[in-house]
């Protein structure tokens, strides 16, 4: 075992993701506390190592099957990397690759995993992760016992700046495992999201609606408020999944990131995946009947009024 902290890099074949730098910043702090190195597993084009000047070591597996992200290819390559480097701790994101790989690695490498991590500490050489569960309502302090551990970290938990740097990391090449030539899956096609009727990322003010709206018929109610203010509606993911508003209106991790001057949230609980997309709004006003809803942790102003009372009251005031 080494005391290295190994970050799984995410990239689109050309660019290392911001989330990778967030992890690498955390890895540097932890590696210092453990007396090890901060390493990055770069599964894919080796020339991306040039963007990883914040690492001590870049562990590289380069193979055509890794040119674009493919879950099984990355999994077998990551296993080869941990087998060779034997790090104390592996960090992944909670984005799609993290959701694919962290738990699979936990089983195949026999290492405990803490998911949805927002903080990491080393105390008396034990690695302790703080994880967020139940939509952000409860935090759990988890110890990762044994020689190896894995933490899947929520986006935005650590600053990206700490993971950037201009060192020239050592490049450690790992031989691509033979399984990469006999995968049970292949990439057929990539589709980019299409632009929509309105661009919610440029709006100064957004009226945003969540599952508290209960049904498609009730969307009209918030639409009236949006119209009174002359601003577009945005939404949480369940409203979009239900087909009540188009995908182009979705705010959050798998939707768009918005930074309006004001964000009015009606019937949105404030799950971590939603907060990722709106926490930098200048002013957040939240309406939620549940006084313990996590949205109130990021909102500047809040009310536990019922949205079915408050929304028409607001529309009426504005129409006066």
Q: What residues between 256 and 285 interact with ligand FAD by CB under 6 A? A: 267-269, 271, 273-274, 277
Residues 146-185 vs other proteins: string with x where CB under 8 A? x--x--x------------------------------xxx
Residue 236 touches which of other proteins, ligand FAD, none (Cβ within 5-8 Å per kind): ligand FAD
Residue 78 neighbours by CB under 8 Å, 6+ apart: 8, 41, 43, 101, 105
- At residue 256, φ and ψ (nearest 5 deg) are -105, 155
12 three-class SS = coil
Residue 264 touches which of ligand FAD, other proteins, none (Cβ within 5-8 Å per kind): other proteins
- Contact pick of 211, 247, 259, 279 for ligand FAD (by CB under 6 A): 211
297's tokens: 């942790």
- Contact pick of 37, 106, 234, 250 for ligand FAD (by CB under 6 A): 250
- The answer to whether residue 119 forms part of the interface with other proteins (CB under 8 A) is no
Nearer to other proteins, 34 or 129 (CB): 129
Residue 18 neighbours by CB under 8 Å, 6+ apart: 160
- Contact pick of 91, 250, 274, 278 for other proteins (by CB under 8 A): 250
**20 sits in which H/E element:** helix 18-34
Among residues 298, 27, 273, the alpha carbon closest in space to that of 154 is found at: 273
Distance CA 260, CA 280 (A): 8
266's tokens: 């009606």
Residues 104-143 vs ligand FAD: string with x where CB under 6 A? -------------------------------x--------
- Contact pick of 143, 173, 181, 220 for other proteins (by CB under 8 A): 143
Inter-axis angle of helices 96-109 and 71-85, nearest 10: 50
Residues 280-319 vs ligand FAD: string with x where CB under 6 A? -------xxxx--x------------xxx-----------
Distance CA 66, CA 131 (A): 30
């Amino acid at each position: 075992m080494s005391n290295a902290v190994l970050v799984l890099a995410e990239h689109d074949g050309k660019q290392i993701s911001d989330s990778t730098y967030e992890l690498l910043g955390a890895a540097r702090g932890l590696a210092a506390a453990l007396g090890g190195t901060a390493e990055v597993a770069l599964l894919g084009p080796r020339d991306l190592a040039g963007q990883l000047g914040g690492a001590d070591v870049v562990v590289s597996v380069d193979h055509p099957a890794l040119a674009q992200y493919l879950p099984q290819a990355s999994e077998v390559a990551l296993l080869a990397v941990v087998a060779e480097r034997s790090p104390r701790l592996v960090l992944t994101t909670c984005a799609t690759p993290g959701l694919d790989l962290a738990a699979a690695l936990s089983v195949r490498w026999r290492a405990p995993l803490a998911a949805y991590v927002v903080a990491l500490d080393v105390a008396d050489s034990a690695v302790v992760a703080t994880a967020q569960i139940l939509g952000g309502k409860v935090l759990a302090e988890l110890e990762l016992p044994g020689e190896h551990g894995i933490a899947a970290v929520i986006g935005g938990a650590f600053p990206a700046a700490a993971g950037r740097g201009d060192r020239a990391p050592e490049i450690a090449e790992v031989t691509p495992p033979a399984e990469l030539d006999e995968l049970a899956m292949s990439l057929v096609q990539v589709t980019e999201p299409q632009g929509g009727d309105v661009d919610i990322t440029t709006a100064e003010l957004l009226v945003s609606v969540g599952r508290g709206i209960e049904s498609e018929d009730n969307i009209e109610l918030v639409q009236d408020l949006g119209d009174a203010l002359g601003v577009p509606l945005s939404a949480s993911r369940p409203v979009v999944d239900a087909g009540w508003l188009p995908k182009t209106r979705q705010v959050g991790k798998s939707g768009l990131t918005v930074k309006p001057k004001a964000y009015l949230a009606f019937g949105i609980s404030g799950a971590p995946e939603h907060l990722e997309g709106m926490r930098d709004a200048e002013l957040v006003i939240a309406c939620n009947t549940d006084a313990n809803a996590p949205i109130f942790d990021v909102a500047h102003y809040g009310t536990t009024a019922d949205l079915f009372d408050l929304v028409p009251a607001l529309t009426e005031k504005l129409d006066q």
